[in-house]
Structure 1
């Protein structure tokens, strides 16, 4: 079936801003988000620069949900919620099976991976938290977007290096064109600012 696919809402956050409108404004004005990294956990990496998200936008994600997410998943959820609001779409029991998500991730949950290694190798822990693997796997972002928005259609992660987000969006278009979904939330997310990643 040849279905027309359109973008009805966007969301995002990065070093330029914590919503799509502020990011777009900064880009149009030619601003750069590259600067010294202020994260106190990375204090001994002198001279390190990057496009750091200094603060997250206000949100209502509760502590229980936050504990189950690595940072890249949280960023994906915040952007997906903004896109759904902007599109004026909502998911309910009657249509949830027609809503899906694809999220591209270039890496994985580096923050959780590093925290886990530190616990095992430096702090002498005998085991890791039960959420370590589900939080770090590249498909976690798509899964968390699905859980947060109540999506029950096709949900999967895409991991193809720097092309991950574009690949995820193309895959979302395919899901709609093939009749597997009416709405797909799609994009990309990464959070590589972890000590070991930057030190390497």
Structure 2
């Protein structure tokens, strides 16, 4: 069976560096950070003092106020980004296409805000005070469910939960749905709202969060002095559809999605496999799936968390796949500005990767000051550069040993 070609025709995002794609992109290429002193928890209670929070996000701009109150923030973010993406695509989900339009949105941990609020009510006042909406507000699949309900998408409806790879896995899975003919349109990406006391506690005791108190310097991927990631929140959503459909309805096409690699480390619940073995296989699988060769890739948006093991082993994985060409590649981590959006990271970074193709600009890794001999690639230090690229790769890695690589390409007939 011939594989159908799949393109991106719409994008939407709410992020710490802007609540729409253009604002986000402009902040990113200017090297501006969305990280600041955390406000959603008391910084005095934790060794980590900073986070990458949304600013001035108003859910009522995208959904009914009553419905918004029945959604955890992670679902609100997904709905907002989806409404933007569908509008950007100029897609009318009417009766003719509703059953061929699917939703696949991932989240790493789902409704943590709801969980904590309702648990406190249970402990203080008993089960009768727990909201009847507790479960549907908390479960990770509800972002996809609510987007489907609000937009009227009646096709396949799913949610991939693979920790920090959730958004990327969801995009890859949605890509394959269209490619094999099970849907014609997919609303896909990732969402997360993890900045809560319990999340902060768990990542703090795991010693995963940066303890640098200066927000401007806390996230420093690939830098020798990195000491942990900065927790972020937000959502990124793409509209995927067949190339045939996009052309027929005269839609603008941002890029084609051509490659998806997904592997497991089978090694450790939190630490990556030595030398990034699993991540390397995901990159190689994506390149093979795209029918490309390594030298076709012009830019990699790295997972680049600013943790010691991730950055070292992701670098090793890139070198294992690309060989000497790895030193000619441009690799950057935009988590230096957005923080780590966990299950939303891969989706937001996919949008940034696509914009890099469209604009001919490669985003920087800011806060890159001290070279690490084990991280010796070109990380586009501190300032964006102008460079035309035809194909880009976006990497996402998650607890549990999940590894994902996506490849986006400039459309060529």
Match of 1:176 in 2: 178
The answer to whether the 8 Å contact 1:157/1:168 transfers is yes
- Rounded Cα–Cα distance in structure 1 between residues aligned with 2:164 and 2:96: 36
The answer to whether the 8 Å contact 2:170/2:188 transfers is yes
Q: What SS does structure 2 have at the residue aligned with 1:100?
A: strand
Match of 2:5 in 1: 4
In structure 1, runs of 5+ residues without a counterpart are none
The answer to whether the 8 Å contact 1:42/1:194 transfers is no
Residue 53 in structure 1 maps to residue 54 in structure 2: yes
Match of 1:161 in 2: 163
The answer to whether the 8 Å contact 1:105/1:189 transfers is yes
Match of 2:134 in 1: 132
Q: What SS does structure 2 have at the residue aligned with 1:3?
A: coil
Match of 1:29 in 2: 30
Match of 1:13 in 2: 14
- Rounded Cα–Cα distance in structure 1 between residues aligned with 2:65 and 2:42: 24
- Rounded Cα–Cα distance in structure 2 between residues aligned with 1:174 and 1:141: 20
Match of 2:91 in 1: 89
- Rounded Cα–Cα distance in structure 1 between residues aligned with 2:42 and 2:153: 36
More strand by share: 2
Report the alpha carbon displacement of residue 116 of structure 1 after superposing the two structures with TM: 0.9
Counterpart of 1:66 (choices 44, 58, 68) is 68
Which has more radius of gyration? 2
In structure 2, runs of 5+ residues without a counterpart are 203-413
- Rounded Cα–Cα distance in structure 1 between residues aligned with 2:179 and 2:154: 18
Q: What SS does structure 2 have at the residue aligned with 1:7?
A: strand
- Rounded Cα–Cα distance in structure 2 between residues aligned with 1:63 and 1:130: 18
Aligned residues: 198
TM-score normalised by structure 1 residue count: 0.93
Q: Which has the higher contact order (CA 8 A, sep 6+)?
A: 1
